[in-house]
A and B are shown apart, each in its own frame.
Chain A
Amino acid sequence: MSTGILPPISARRRRTDRLMSGLFYAATGIALVPLLLIIGYLIKEGASQFSAAFFTTDPTGNFAGDIGGIRSAVLGTIEMVAIATLISVPIGIAVAIWLVEYGKRSKPAAIIRYLIDVMTGVPSVVFGLFIYVSLVETGIGGSGFAAWKGSVAISLLMLPIVARSSEVVLDLVPNGLRESALALGAPRWRVIATVVLPTALPGLITGSLLAVARGAGETAPLLFTVQAAMGINFNLSERMNSLPLEIFNDVQSSNPAVVTRAWGAALTLVLLVLAITLLARIVAGRSRLKP
C-alpha cells in the first residue's frame, strides 16, 4: 500500500508494536495456564471418586478397608460457612452503609477504611491464632474446639471482603437518587431502606458471594479452632468436619486410597467455590450500576 504523502511508520516501530502485542497475548495465556492445569489435574485424579457413596457416606477414619466418603466434610463446610455468612454479611453491609451514608470523608471513616483494608490483608492463620487464644483456650461456650468458633474465624476473614465490596457498590448509587428521596421528605433510614439498598442489591449479593467463596476455601483458621471430627455432627459446639481439613489430613495419609479421596474432596471443594463465584458474576451482570 502506497502511503503517498503520509509519513511512513518505521518498520522498527511496527515490529515493536507487534512484539509487544504478542507479549501481552502470551502473558494472558500464561496467566490462564495454571487454571487449566489445576482443574485438569483435579479432574484426572479426583473425578473417579465421584459416586453416590462418595457423597452419602462419612469418612470412617479406618486405615484400611472401607474408608468412607466425604459427606460429613461437605455438610460441615456448608454449615460453618453458612453461620459465618450470617455473621459477616449483615455486619459488613452495616459498616459499608455507615461509611457511605454517615462517615463519608471524615477522619474516623478514613481510619475505619484503613482498618478494613488491613483486615483484608491479615493472613488467615493469624485470625486462627486470635480465635484460638480468645475463644478456644479460654474455653468460652464450653469445651475447646468447636464448630461455631471456626465460623467466627471464617467470618473475620469474610467481613472485610463484604464491607469493602459493599462500600464500593453503595458508593455507585447516584447521589441524585438520594437527593430525590430526601426532597420528597423521607427520613434518612427510609432513603437507605427504600432507595439505596434495593438499587445496590445485585452488587451487594455479588460481594457477599465472593466472600463466601473465599471463606469456604480456607483451611488455616479451621486448624486452630475446629480440628475435625469424622462423623456428621450438627452440634456447633463440637468439632466438625470440613472439606479443607479433610483434604489436608487425607493427603498426608499413607493409604493411597485415602489420598485419592483427598483429590475427590479437592475437586468437590473447587467445584463448589467455582459455582459460587460464577453465580456471583451472573448476579453482578444484572446490576444496573456501572462505574
Chain B
Amino acid sequence: MLERSPMARLPDQALRWILTALSFGILLLLVYFFGKLSLESVDVFQHQGILSFAFSNDWNPSQSQFGGLALLFGSVATALIALVIGVPIAVATAVFIVELCPSRLRSPLTILVELLAAVPSVVYGLWGVFFLIPRLRPFEQWAADTFSFLPWVGGPVAGPSYFIAGLILAIMIIPVVSAISREVISTVPTDHKEAALALGATRWEMIRTAILPYSRSGISGAAMLGLGRALGETIAVTLVIGNAAVIGHQIFDQGYSLAAVIANEFGEASAVPLYSSALFACGLLLFIVTLVVNGLARYIVSLGDIERRVERARRSERKSAAAPGGAA
C-alpha cells in the first residue's frame, strides 16, 4: 500500500538521531565545562571564601591571599572604556555604511571594517606595546594634566594603563558591534524612512527619528556582545595593562584583569594547587559573567523585537479598554 519499507525510513531516523545527539551534546559539554571549572575552584573558595575572592582587594599569591577585586575591577573598567569609545564609533560607521556612503563604497568599506576582526589579538597587543604606548604617552600626559579636574583623569602616565587597554579593546570590538548594528539598521522598513523624509526631514533628522529609535534595542544587543568580547579578551590586554594587581584611580594607571592574570600567572601557578585553583576561579568568574552578559543582551534585543512590541501594545490596549471607564 502507501508504505515505504522500514529500510527506506532508516536514513531519516538516523539523521534525526545523530543531529539531535550532537546538538544536545553541546548542552552536555557546557554543563561539564561549568562543572569542571567549579570543581577546580573549590579549593580557593574554601580557603578564601567566595565573596572574599570576588570582592576583596588583596591579590597576593605568594602569601596565599586571593582577593580578586582588583582583577574584576580591571576587567570591568577596561571593558567600559572600550564601550564608551568603541560603540559610538561602531554605530556611526554602521549608519554611515548603510545610509550615507555612496553605494559603490559600501562593499569595500564593509570589508575594511571586518578586516579589523582579522587581526589576531596578539598582534593588537604587540602593536599596542611597541607603537601605541610610546606614541600616545605625550598626549596622555597632556590630557592628564589639562583635564585633571575630571574624575579618574590625572596622575603620572607610565605607559601601560587601563586607558590603553580600553582603547585597544575598543578597536577590537568595532567590527562586531558595527556588523550587528549594520544588520539592525538595514532592517528598518523603508516605509518608516520615507515617512520621515516625506515630512521634510533632513537626512540626519530622518536618521534620528526613524532609524535610531527603531534600532535601539538591536544596537544595545550589539553593544552587549561587544562588552562580552571586551571582558574576555586576554592576550591583547595582558600586554598593555601593566599587570599590577591594584585598583587604579586614574585611567592612566596600570591595572590587571581576570583574563590577563590567568594568561600571565598560569605558568607559576601550576605548581601550587591553591594558586592554580584561584586562577580557575577567575576563569569560572569570567564564564559566569559571559553567561549573564549574553542573557542580558538577548533580553534587551528581544524587548525591541517588533512582534513582541506589537503584542505588548495590543495587550495594554485590551487592558485599558477593559478597565471600567476605559477608552472607547
Interface residues of A (CB under 8 A from B): 7, 9, 13-14, 16-17, 20-21, 23-25, 27-28, 30-32, 34-35, 37-38, 41-42, 45, 91, 94-95, 97-99, 101-103, 108, 111-112, 114-119, 121-126, 129-130, 133-134, 159, 187-189, 192, 213-214, 216-220, 223-224, 244, 247-248, 251, 262-263, 266, 269-270, 273-274, 276-278, 281
Contacts and interface: CB of A to CB of B under 8 A. Distances in A.
Given A31-B90, A98-B20, 14 more contacts: A13-B205, A27-B93, A30-B89, A41-B127, A91-B22, A101-B19, A119-B30, A121-B229, A121-B290, A129-B37, A188-B15, A220-B235, A266-B126, A274-B118
Interface of B: 8-9, 11-12, 15-16, 18-20, 22-24, 26-27, 30, 32-33, 36-37, 40, 88-90, 92-93, 95-97, 100-101, 109, 111-124, 126-127, 130-131, 171, 174, 178, 200, 202-205, 207, 225, 228-229, 231-235, 259, 262-263, 266, 279-280, 283, 286-287, 290-291, 293-295, 297-298
Q: Is the interface of B mostly helix, strand, loop or mixed?
A: helix
Given A31-B116, A32-B113, A220-B234, A38 B19 contact: no
Contact of A270 (B93, B119, B174): B119
A263 B297 CA distance: 37
Nearest to B261: A125
A219 B122 contact: yes
B129 to A, nearest CB: 8
Nearest to A160: B26
B217 to A, nearest CB: 16
Q: Is the interface of A mostly helix, strand, loop or mixed?
A: helix
Nearest to B114: A277
Contacts of A111: 27
A286 to B, nearest CB: 14
Given A41-B131, A98-B22, A247 B11 contact: no
Contact of B115 (A91, A126, A219, A274): A274
B37 A27 contact: no
Contacts of A125: 232, 234, 259, 262-263, 283, 286
Contact of A17 (B24, B115, B205): B205
Contacts of A25: 96, 100
A16 B202 contact: yes
A118 B291 contact: yes
Contacts of A14: 202
B19 A218 contact: no
Contact of A34 (B121, B171, B228, B291): B171
21 contacts: A13-B205, A20-B207, A24-B95, A24-B96, A27-B89, A32-B113, A38-B127, A95-B19, A112-B24, A117-B294, A121-B225, A122-B232, A123-B259, A133-B40, A187-B9, A220-B259, A270-B119, A273-B119, A274-B118, A277-B114, A278-B111
B235 A248 contact: yes
B92 A102 contact: no
B8 A273 contact: no
Contacts of A117: 294, 297-298
A31 B203 contact: no
A223 B119 contact: no
Contacts of A224: 266
Contact of B11 (A187, A244, A266): A187
Contacts of A130: 33, 36-37, 283
Shortest 4 CB-CB distances between A and B: which pairs? A123-B232, A217-B120, A27-B92, A121-B228
A64 B23 CA distance: 52
B116 A35 contact: yes
Given A24-B100, A112-B27, A189-B12, A266 B228 contact: no
Contacts of A133: 36-37, 40, 280
